[in-house]
């Protein structure tokens, strides 16, 4: 129902997604959000650009901010608020010399088909962006790739020959972490929630072993996959899988906390009941927030850009078609549906 | 009822404390242990010494090994087993050239009035031991002092001007950690379980603030004492106090897990339900086990030995009289009775 303007932007009415009600006891569902038509944004002011949404990435972590506190990743989301996440946009009009109509850029943008944004909030894509695929800038070369790299390389200090366990390994960040760990010479064990995801991990992404966390105790599966223990845990999930990792980490092992997808929708978070093992095993657990590590981006782009262009690592994503699919795509992300990151295509 | 032999050892029948039943639902009590007369140990073999117990230190952490797993601190304790802990002993007879009758030494020994031990398991006290007080070698100059110093200085990397929160601050390790942090120029907040302990912390040990964890939510008390947040947490207690610290730690704050006294006797350990804050606040939590850091002992003894001899820091202990008091002294340690470390005197 949309038509492409000559500049490549999306014509048709401007729409946005709002939090329409607070989630009930069943957790966040797509019915908690609704799409609303809105008046077209005003023309950009000096230093601003009018952009059209092209690809919108979904983040499970947003769920923890619905009705919740502000965090480093963004403000708490209240009734009527328009959430935001990272996206590829196309510049429609610009009053900043760095951006011209037709330019493609990434940035954190509201869930709205067109927005006026400060040019400083957008980073232009490189000239070979179309060859690499726009989605790459929301996966392996984007925010989630940068997150995986920062957590694995800088916070977790992964070393060649180590055994690394990645939870949620077939998700957006997880699928990057698995590949980056492999590229750095580590053995990787991944967990995921379906046979199709396990096949992705061992058949495509290079994991040595993978297990389905729905099938029996995670600690048993992890110990079977790593009888000698693990050196490093990269956690996207929390809950039982964090406990499993604390159980199987070697003496002086490290855990990097990136996310806690299993806990975001829970009223009572499950803290690791075996945390006392951290004392006897001298474990180190470090949380991190990639937005606090912007100074590392050039090193990330250099290393991972080369890996992507050489075909050593690849972005993994699942596409949802059309802006109206955003609520379902977000709920699907929380439910663990889809391989890699879920991206809404708004072309 | 005991008489001193000319060599200073204890005559009378040899006795030991055994685990006499497994703790019930009410947790560990003194009735779980019993004192038994045993036949006197055989003469020492080559490289061994016969020692008489003089001062026996109590460790809450032992409770976690009763019916439980082996840890770096010692084996699991089964029915009929004789627990062990660090003690000052007097050499009665020796077949090792490093030890002579009358020498005083520290080591980890069974809860028995006389034992034959490998000389290599004993470290002779310095010539001024009597002036410093034998108890010092079980507190500030001993295993618990070494524990506090290692956790605070090497694991936690305390820095001048930082705000440090010590839980269980009036206990054996805690009272050392408070003083060492002060000596390194940190502001210290301590928690403890009685008015007398709070008075010790602020009136004697140099804490800037102290609160009783029985009186209202620990997070509220901690925030009131440190409105700007804390930089470092030294945890001896776990449970609610660990959660309070995670809540009040500043961005990139650190927590050092030394013990979890509130959890040792529980069947279901309380994992920190707010651990997700570690992600947003980039917190680092590290567990440690002092037995894995023996190489640091010379640095500890140099720094802390000077502080003790200069009167800057002091050992804090509570004495229980006589070997038969061991079960009650151990139960009292778990219940948080007594100031500083509880030490059984067997003179």
Give, in degrees to the nearest 5, the angle at Cα A342 between A245 and A18: 110
Cβ(B95)–Cβ(B70) below 8 Å: no
What's residue A72's pLDDT?
67
| A39-55 per-position pLDDT tens digit | 988 899 999 999 999 99
Are A289 and B276 inside 8 Å of each other by CB?
no
What's residue A64's pLDDT?
82
Q: Which residue of A has its CA nearest to B268?
A: A273
What's residue B72's pLDDT?
67
Residues in chain A with pLDDT values less than 50: 1-10
Q: Using a CB–CB cutoff of 8 Å, tell me whether B64 touches chain A.
A: yes
**Which of A260, A273, A279 lies at the smallest CB-CB distance from B276?**
A260
| A242-277 per-position pLDDT tens digit | 999 999 999 999 999 999 888 876 778 889 999 999
- Whether residue B267 has pLDDT greater than 80: no
- HSE (CB half, 13 Å, CA atoms) of A22? 10
- A234 CB neighbours in chain B (<8 A) are none
Q: Which residues contact B267 (CB under 8 A, 6 or more apart)?
A: none
- Whether residue B42 has pLDDT greater than 50: yes
What's residue A41's pLDDT?
86
What's residue B8's pLDDT?
37
**Which of A64, A272, A282 lies at the smallest CB-CB distance from B271?**
A272
| B289-298 per-position pLDDT tens digit | 999 999 999 9
- Whether residue B12 has pLDDT greater than 80: no
Share of chain B above pLDDT 90, in %: 82
Residue B8 DSSP label: S
Q: What is the mean pLDDT of residues B285-312?
A: 95
Give, in degrees to the nearest 5, the angle at Cα B69 between B67 and B70: 120
Backbone conformation region of residue B161, classed left if phi is above 0, alpha if psi is from -120 to 50, else beta: left
Of A287, A307, A316, the C-alpha closest to A184 is A307
- Whether residue B237 has pLDDT greater than 70: yes
- Whether residue B5 has pLDDT greater than 80: no
Are B279 and A257 inside 8 Å of each other by CB?
yes
Domains of chain B in start order, with CATH, are 14-139+316-345 (3.90.180.10), 143-291 (3.40.50.720)
Q: How confident is the model at residue B60 (pLDDT cuts 50, 70, 90)?
A: confident
Question: Integer distance in angstroms from the first to the last C-alpha of chain B?
Answer: 11
Residue ranges of the alpha helices (H) in A164-239?
172-183, 195-203, 218-225
Q: Write down the residue that tokens 């008015």 correspond to.
A: B195
Q: Using a CB–CB cutoff of 8 Å, tell me whether B295 touches chain A.
A: no
Mutate to test the interface with A, among B267, B278, B281, B287 (most CBs of A within 10 A): B287
Q: What's the token pair of residue A177?
A: 């972490």
Q: What is the mean pLDDT of residues B262-278?
A: 86
| B136-184 per-position pLDDT tens digit | 999 999 999 999 999 999 999 999 999 999 999 999 999 999 999 999 9
* ipTM attached to this prediction: 0.89
- A260 CB neighbours in chain B (<8 A) are 275-276, 279
């Amino acid at each position: 129902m949309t038509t492409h303007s000559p500049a490549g932007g999306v014509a048709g009415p401007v729409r946005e997604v709002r939090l329409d009600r607070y989630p009930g006891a069943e957790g966040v569902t797509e019915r908690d959000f609704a799409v609303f038509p809105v008046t077209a944004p005003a023309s950009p002011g000096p230093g601003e650009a009018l952009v059209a949404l092209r690809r919108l990435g979904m983040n499970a972590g947003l769920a923890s901010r619905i009705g919740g506190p502000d965090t480093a990743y963004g403000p708490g989301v209240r009734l009527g608020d328009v959430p935001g996440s990272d996206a590829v946009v196309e510049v429609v009009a610009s009053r900043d010399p760095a951006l011209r109509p037709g330019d493609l850029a990434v940035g954190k943008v509201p869930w709205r088909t067109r927005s006026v944004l400060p040019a400083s909030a957008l980073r232009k894509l490189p000239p070979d962006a179309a060859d690499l695929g726009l989605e790459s800038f929301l996966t392996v070369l984007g925010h989630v790739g940068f997150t995986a790299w920062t957590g694995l390389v800088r916070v977790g200090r992964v070393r060649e020959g180590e055994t690394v366990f990645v939870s949620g390994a077939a998700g957006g960040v997880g699928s990057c972490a698995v590949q980056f760990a492999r590229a750095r010479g580590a053995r990787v064990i991944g967990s995921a929630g379906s046979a199709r995801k396990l096949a992705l991990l061992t058949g495509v992404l290079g994991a040595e072993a993978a297990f389905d966390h729905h099938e029996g105790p995670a600690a048993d599966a992890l110990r079977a996959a790593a009888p000698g223990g693990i050196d490093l845990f990269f956690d996207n999930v929390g809950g039982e899988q964090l406990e499993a990792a604390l159980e199987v980490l070697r003496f002086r092992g490290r855990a990097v906390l990136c996310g806690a997808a299993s806990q975001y929708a829970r009223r009572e978070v499950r803290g690791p009941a075996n945390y006392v093992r951290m004392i006897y095993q001298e474990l180190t657990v470090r949380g991190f927030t990639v937005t606090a590590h912007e100074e590392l981006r050039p090193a990330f782009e250099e290393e991972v850009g080369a890996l992507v262009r050489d075909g050593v690592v690849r972005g993994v994503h699942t596409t949802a078609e059309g802006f109206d699919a955003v609520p379902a795509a977000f709920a699907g992300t929380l439910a663990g549906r889809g391989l890699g990151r879920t991206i809404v295509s708004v072309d």
